[in-house]
Structure formats: C-alpha cells, structure tokens
Amino acid sequence: MSSPTIQVFQGPQDHTLPVVVPVRPVTLHINGQDRTLDIAPWTTLLDALREYLDLTGTKKGCDRGQCGACTVLVDGKRINSCLSLAMMCEGSSIQTIEGLGTEEHLHPLQQAFMDHDAFQCGYCTPGQICSAQGLINEGHAKTEDEVRELMSGNLCRCGAYTNILTAVMEVMNANASKA
C-alpha cells in the first residue's frame, strides 16, 4: 500500500509560512494625551483603543457598525470606532468614555445615567454616553422624538431606552437653559 502524499502549497495559500505583518508608528491624541503605537495599517480605532492602549471602556459589540457600543468622539463628532481605521484619526482629538469624566467628578451625562438608572448590564452605556455627547454637540435634537431618532444607532439589549432618554433629555435641557 502506498503512503499518502502531502501536498505542499506555495505562495499565499500556504498557511504554514510565517506571516509578516507590516506595522507603522501612529500617534493618536486620546483624552488629551499623545499615544504612539506600532500597528498594522488595517487596525481599527476600536482595536487600537482596546487591544493596544487598554482603553477597554469602549465596547465591541457587532464590530460592523450596527450596534453603537463602540461610539467615541473624534473632534467632537460621534463615530463608530469599529468602522474607522486608527491611522485615519491621526491629527484628530479622540475622546473616549475614560476621558469624559472621573470617578470624583462625573460628566453630567454619567451622573444623569446614574440618577435615572439608565442602564442594566452597562455594556452599551459608554457608547450611549459618547453618542449622547455627540448628539448634544450637533445641536439638532430638541424633542424626545428627535433624541430617540438620533440615538437610534445605539442599541441596548437590556431595553433601558426609557431611562436613557430621560437622562439625555435632562442634560440636554440643562445645557439649553444655560445657553
């Protein structure tokens, strides 16, 4: 009986070859600090934050732009960090949930979420809060219906929507009365 043959692939199909990943230094301005890291060009901002910088407050839900758990602020605008390459954010100011407040001095949205029980498991909460700050920065929403619509990209599997809306409206109205 003849022995089985072993097929040796050459080129890109040969998964036994060591893979050389080209990395490039990138400096990101995050929560007021410059952070330099060596990453592959295709690294998403979400992975750069979580895997390379230990900023795990930003959550990975779907990793494809459908849940909003990864929302951060870039130059004050809310984005899904899973859909953005880290390299595209060089030169921008990035703010994550870790940069919004401190344990001693909570950001008003963090305080409002606490006051109104606007979370259950909390997994969506950093994204909800960053998105709400982006919404307030945009200044387009005035009514509950508009807030609901413009926050609809942030899903909450626990269904805490009613209290999230209350918390966001409270901070939005407080800001409006100061203006």
Q: Which residues bind ligand FES (CB under 6 A)?
A: 60-63, 65-70, 80, 82, 119-125, 156-158, 160
Angle between helices 161-178 and 108-115 (to 10 degrees): 140
Report the residue number, 32 or 119, with the smaller CB distance to ligand FES.
119
**Whole-number Å distance between alpha carbons of 9 and 90:** 39
Nearest to 87 by CA among 40, 54, 22: 40
Report the residue number, 7 or 57, with the smaller CB distance to ligand FES.
57
Can you say whether the dihedral through the CA atoms of 122, 123, 125, 128 is positive or negative? negative
| Residue 21 host element (H or E) | none
The least CB distance from residue 60 to ligand FES, in Å, is 5
**Whole-number Å distance between alpha carbons of 162 and 164:** 6
Report the residue number, 73 or 160, with the smaller CB distance to ligand FES.
160
Report the residue number, 39 or 78, with the smaller CB distance to ligand FES.
78
The least CB distance from residue 95 to ligand FES, in Å, is 16
**Whole-number Å distance between alpha carbons of 97 and 103:** 12
The least CB distance from residue 82 to ligand FES, in Å, is 3
The least CB distance from residue 116 to ligand FES, in Å, is 12
Report the residue number, 50 or 92, with the smaller CB distance to ligand FES.
50
Q: Tokens 């921008």 correspond to what residue?
A: 92
- Answer yes or no: are the C-beta atoms of 168 and 154 closer than 8 Å: no
The least CB distance from residue 41 to ligand FES, in Å, is 19
